Copies of this chain bind each other. A is one copy, B any other.
Amino acid sequence: MKTKSFSNMQCSIARTLEHVGSWWSLLIIRDAMMGARRFKHFQESLGIAKNTLTSRLSDLVDGGILEKVAASDGSAYEEYVLTERGRELAPVIIALAQWGDKWVAHEKGPSTVITVKDTGDKLPRVWPRRESGEVMALNEVGMRRANGAPPKNWSEDKETDT
């Protein structure tokens, strides 16, 4: 649903979900990353209702994640392509895919493999790392409330600890 908006929240996660948090948005972005450009591509791939797709696509365009451009094949229709903003959602998409591969894999395995293009290897896990590139444990990641935000008085001082 979307009766309540997140856009007035200060939290960046909420503000991001305002753009991509609805039920189909991230799947549309996934398909766009895989090369879908036309209305029918999305519709056939997702099995989404056409009116819902219309609505989601225009929300993504309004949010600056997709843009409408003239068709690449010279026809009179328009196509939807990712903007830079949209392309930078790749880490989110990849992290979702990797979590799914690990925890809720389909019995027939994943339908798509994310790769390092030039080697063809499976992409290493998108994961918190230090500047050095060293992979971190999750309990080495902290979350600190910024000055502007009222502190939460939840229990003692839990953080991202495992």
Contact = CB atoms under 8 A, between A and B. Distances in A.
Contacts of A85: 103
Contact of A111 (B26, B88, B129, B148): B148
A159 B31 CA distance: 10
A74 interface: no
Question: Main secondary structure on chain A at its contact with chain B?
Answer: loop
Copy total for this chain: 2
Sort chain A's interface into a size bin.
35 or more
Given A16-B97, A91-B98, 5 more contacts: A1-B23, A35-B154, A87-B162, A89-B99, A92-B95
Interface of A: 1-2, 4, 6, 9-19, 21-23, 26-27, 30, 33-38, 41, 45, 47-48, 64, 72-73, 84-85, 87-106, 108-118, 120-121, 123-136, 138-146, 148-149, 152, 154-155, 157-160, 162
